[in-house]
Structure 1
Amino acid sequence: MVRPKYKRVILKLSGEALAGERGFGLDEKTLDAIAAQVKEISDLGVEVSIVVGGGNFWRGRSGKGMDRTTADYMGMLATVINALALQDALESINILTRVQTAIEMRQIAEPYIRRKAVRHLEKGRVVIFAAGTGNPYFSTDTTAALRAAEIEAEVILLAKKVDGVYDSDPNVNADAKKFDELTYIDVLNRGLGVMDSTATSLCMDNKIPIVVFGLSQPENIKKVILGEKIGTLVKEV
């Protein structure tokens, strides 16, 4: 059997990815497909944690004229909805799962405690981090970078609707060029929008590689885990 390239990973899922083709809310088929892929890599002995966004329900910029802090907290609550839905999909296929939230809501999830999260991973449980960092003005990209540093994840798997990083929007420009590899500095200087600048800088400071790939293709998460070169790798020089 082929051995996984990574032992402990963070999978970053956007809220929009959970909406499937609907573009809003939750798509059950998409949730089930993601859960099945997570099960595949968990069965290989990979310790899996997930950071999920909330853009399928709410984005901070949705609240036009609203106080930014209030809008951001609403976005954090949206991520909890997605985390619980993903937990349900995983547990329906017998994957032990824990949701940890940066904002305490003990009736439905554990509060985020780093040592406890690491212990769950060591016991083979999938840990879903919700409610961002618990602070306004920080994105779930930054959450993924922060949690990856805290739990010493070897890589961030950044699952998107596009199959990698391009020099322009491939949905608009048919001649857009896809990158196989980039450095953190390339991403920052070119403003490529892989992750926001805070998240990218945090990954650079802690030497955490990022693999950007398309979620729509079956088996892509497993392919990345097994070391296949798909998508775009962001790393040091």
Structure 2
Amino acid sequence: MSGSDHRATGHASLPGHVAIIMDGNGRWASTRGLPLLAGHRAGADAVQRTVRAAISRGVGWVTLYAFSSENWRRAPGEVADLTGLLRYYLRHKVAELSREGVCLRFIGDLARFPVDIQEEARRAETVTAANTRLVLVLALSYGGRADIVQAAIRLAQAVGRGERAATDIDEATFAGALLTAGMPDPDLVVRTSGECRLSNFLLWQSAYAELVFLDTPWPDFDETHFDTVLNIYSRRERRFGARPA
């Protein structure tokens, strides 16, 4: 179900779905005179803290922008470090997440990753499928524009095959063709490390999300920062295009 299907205006309380652009690993490492990989490892620790915070606060969905489609353009060494770190966590941390009641899902062009990572991702989804405390979505090789384009292609092909009429396509139909089909739209999108842009993340899905930008680099993000963004969200008035009361 799309989050837009159950909108209610007024002051928000607890977001059902928090999406996070995890930014600042490189700058965090640079300011400490550490190699870039150290920043990515510290960022992975921040992911674990965030998962625990979301569970304890009762947030049902967290989506993390773990690897964008543009990240493939980075230096080969950094891409290798990122994929190696992903491989390690898929192999060694999924069981721990499952014990904590986390259901793992992946969105993005996973076919660009090595075959073993694709297999580990599918295994992680299968192993954690029955868990209900938190749905953790990892956006890997994901781009919002590419997501919209592939949805348009899928619907155009369905029209071409005579399976649906073009005039029957509405927002709900289009949302159902996105990689996030079946997921609620994010209520809150957070970006760390002082940048104030979405960087091609969940562009369609974030149409009515509340946006919060923090100066804190991602490796320093902890439960206190998670509470901070929840408190900011709770003071926002969500109108979904309606006039204020």
Aligned residues: 179
8 Å CA contact 2:20–2:190 kept in 1: the answer is yes
Alignment gaps of 5+ in structure 1: 64-73, 140-145, 166-193
Q: Identify if the C-alpha distance between structure 1 residues 107 and 18 changes in structure 2 by more than 3 Å, giving closer, same or farther.
A: farther
Return the offset for 1:131. Answer: 2.2
> In structure 2, what is the Cα distance between the partners aligned to 1:236 and 1:83?
36
Q: Is the 8 A contact 1:12 1:159 kept in 2?
A: yes
The separation in 1 between residues aligned to 2:136 and 2:120, in whole angstroms, is 16
Q: CA deviation at 1:138?
A: 5.1
After TM superposition, give the deviation of residue 98 of structure 1 in Å: 2.4
Alignment identity in percent? 8
Change beyond 3 A, Cα 1:44–1:91: farther
Aligned-pair CA distance for 1:126: 2.2
> Structure 2 matches for 1:175-194, cutoff 5 A?
194=197
Question: 1:109: Cα distance to partner?
Answer: 0.8
Letter of the structure 2 residue corresponding to residue 109 of structure 1: A
* TM-score, normalised relative to structure 1: 0.51
1:51 corresponding residue in structure 2? 65
Q: 2:180 matched to 1:153?
A: no
Q: 1:17 aligns with which of 17, 25, 30?
A: 25
| Larger-gyration structure (1/2) | 2
Q: 1:49 to 1:20 in 2, by over 3 A?
A: same
Matched with 2:110 is: 103
- Give the secondary structure class of the aligned counterpart of 2:52: helix
Which of 36, 42, 53 in structure 2 is aligned with 1:40? 53
2:188 and 2:82 map into 1 onto residues whose CA distance is 18
Cα distance change of structure 1 residues 52 and 89 upon mapping to structure 2, 3 Å threshold: same
- Quick one: distance in 2 between partners of 1:9 and 1:147? 17
Residue pairs, 1:1-237, within 5 angstroms: 5-14=14-23, 16-17=24-25, 20-21=28-29, 22=34, 24-27=36-39, 28-47=41-60, 48-53=62-67, 59-60=72-73, 62=75, 80-84=83-87, 88=92, 92=96, 94-95=99-100, 96=102, 98=104, 100=106, 102-104=109-111, 105=115, 106-110=118-122, 122-133=132-143, 151-162=183-194, 165=196, 194-196=197-199, 199=201, 202=204, 206-213=207-214, 214=216, 215=218, 216=220, 218=222, 219-225=224-230, 227-228=231-232
Q: How well do the aligned residues superpose, as a CA RMSD in angstroms?
A: 4.9
> TM-score of the superposition, structure 2-length normalised?
0.50
Partner Cα separation in structure 2 for residue 209 and residue 149 of structure 1: 20
Q: 5+ residue gaps in structure 2?
A: 1-11, 148-177
Q: Secondary structure at the match of 2:227?
A: helix
Inter-CA distance 90–20: structure 2 relative to 1 (3 Å threshold): farther
For residues 88 and 192 of structure 2, what CA distance do their matches in structure 1 show? 19
Residue pair 2:17, 2:188 contacting (<8 A) in 1 also: no
Does the 8 Å contact 1:10/1:153 carry over to 2? no
1:8/1:155 contact within 8 Å kept:
yes
Check 1:32–1:147 CA distance in 2 against 1; reply closer, same or farther (3 A cut): same
Q: Is the 8 A contact 1:19 1:26 kept in 2?
A: no
